Amino acid sequence: MQDVAIVGVGQSVFSRKCGVSIRELCFEAYTEAMEGLDITNNGIDASIICSAPEYDKQRSPAGSISEYLKLTPKPSFYVETVCSSSSTGLRVGWSLIKAGLHKVVAVIGFQKMSDLTSRDAAERMSRGGDIIWESPFGISMPAGYAMYARAHMAKYGTTEEQLAKVRVKNSHYGAANPKATYRKELSLEEILGSEVIASPLKKFDCCANADGASCIIIASRDIAKRITNIPIWIIGLGAATDTMTMSGRESLTGLRCAQEAAKQAYKMAGVGPKDIDVAEVHDCFTIAELMAYEDLGFAKPGEGVGLIEDKETYVGGKIPVNVDGGLLSKGHPIGATGGSQIRTIVKQLRGEAGETQVKGAEIGLVHNIGGVGQYGNVTILRR
């Protein structure tokens, strides 16, 4: 079984209204991922298309996208785990190469959310939870994470100001990201003064719906060393699923799926939290980033706030996190998000991150969550 490397990464600009089709969005990401590779479309053995259904009129988008990208007649597969779809796609692609079925796989994530109203999009997202016992009664994404925030506050004394400091950081880095939906720095006062969405979460504690696509090209060792100068190796993969119902969760102060996925990924990679040089975590809400610090072992339970208070998750700190602005600044085109996170870490490990580069970064981690903590993927990469 050969080692598997990421050889190309790409992302469209994330925006509130892209004005193009899903095929064109994916073409933008795919084109960037293929830049500089000594390979053509004919060298792609298979494609994995990742998104959340019910946002698009096109059923079975994998066939449509693979045709547009001129990847037919090679096989194309469709993968979905809500917001973590494209990191699940990476896991599937890795498995196909490890199994010897394919040598080079394109993992393409996308979502075009602007065709729906915010109300309709929120309703569809809530169906990612249990549609019999919870989502009909108001467990939307903001409401679910607001419950996590309240539980964390009750147990550990976390404050609304500490949550807001996560957005301060991410807006600072988002302002430097040309692919981000929101490129404006926000002050603590602006964040705390924004309208309440689901108490204690305010508008600026929440990421926004967006249109966008991402692409990751992965290859077996023999191919990777031939077609790129800087392969980035996939050394750890972890995945877990928690209960669909929040009422079935053991705790509301952390995500069990993330904790379990992290444990698997660290074990497979042979590293621990202290070995990670830079991380991308699923900050769909400010509380989600704080919980990720703890779920990934960067801080003990209840002590994640210390990292943001002391600016340890900024560039130059102990563990830089979301230095591309995270979901809070980039926006969250559901199926594209995991691939965008992976793109950021790959560029960091290649030394291509410009003004947000973490000096000497060699090991990076991606934490991608689906739904209100139903699905968790943790991926560890090494230069």
Beta bridge pairs of residue 81: 83
Q: Is residue 276 part of a domain?
A: no
Q: Is residue 39 part of a domain?
A: yes
Residue tagged active-site, from 152, 282, 332, 367: 332
Tokens of 347: 């560029």
Q: Is residue 112 part of a domain?
A: yes
Q: Is residue 158 part of a domain?
A: no
Tokens of 277: 């040089």
Q: Is residue 153 part of a domain?
A: no
**What's the number of domains the chain is made of?**
1
| Gap between the Cα atoms of 272 and 265, Å rounded | 9
Positive or negative CA dihedral for 296, 376, 343, 322? Answer: negative
Positive or negative CA dihedral for 261, 86, 248, 113? Answer: positive
Which CATH number covers residue 90? Answer: 3.40.47.10
Residue tagged active-site, from 18, 83, 215, 257: 83
Ramachandran category for residue 23: left, alpha or beta (phi over 0 → left; psi -120 to 50 → alpha) = alpha
Tokens of 337: 């998000």
| Gap between the Cα atoms of 80 and 87, Å rounded | 10
Nearest to 338 by CA among 269, 261, 224: 261
Is there a contact between 211 and 333 (Cβ–Cβ < 8 Å)? yes
pLDDT of res. 2: 65
Residues contacting 153, CB < 8 A, separation 6+: 159, 200
Tokens of 184: 């404006």
Beta bridge pairs of residue 376: 240, 369
| Gap between the Cα atoms of 378 and 306, Å rounded | 23
Which pLDDT tens digits describe the chain residue by residue (383 residues)? 569 999 999 999 999 999 999 999 999 999 999 999 999 999 999 999 999 887 777 778 999 999 999 999 999 999 999 999 999 999 999 999 999 999 999 999 999 988 877 777 777 777 777 778 877 777 888 999 999 999 999 999 999 999 999 999 999 999 999 999 999 999 999 999 999 999 999 999 999 999 999 999 999 999 999 999 999 999 999 999 999 888 889 899 999 999 999 999 999 999 999 999 999 999 999 999 999 999 999 999 999 999 999 999 999 999 999 999 999 999 999 999 999 999 999 999 999 999 999 999 999 999 999 999 999 999 999 99
pLDDT of res. 133: 82
Helix, strand, coil shares of the chain as percentages rounded to 5?
40, 20, 40
Q: End-to-end alpha-carbon separation of the chain, Å?
A: 20
Q: For residue 109, which amino acid is it?
A: G
Q: Is residue 177 part of a domain?
A: no
Q: Is residue 352 part of a domain?
A: no
pTM: 0.95
Nearest to 333 by CA among 7, 9, 5, 29: 29
Q: How far is CA 380 from CA 156, 239, 248, 273, 341, in A?
A: 29, 12, 29, 11, 12
Eight-class DSSP state of 59: S
Tokens of 306: 């210390």
Q: Is residue 55 part of a domain?
A: yes
* Residue 332 appears among annotated catalytic residues: yes
Nearest to 5 by CA among 97, 71, 109: 97
* Residue 206 appears among annotated catalytic residues: no
Residues contacting 352, CB < 8 A, separation 6+: none
| Burial (CB count within 10 angstroms: exposed 0-12, middle 13-18, buried 19+), residue 268 | middle
Q: Which domain holds residue 21?
A: 4-116+209-227
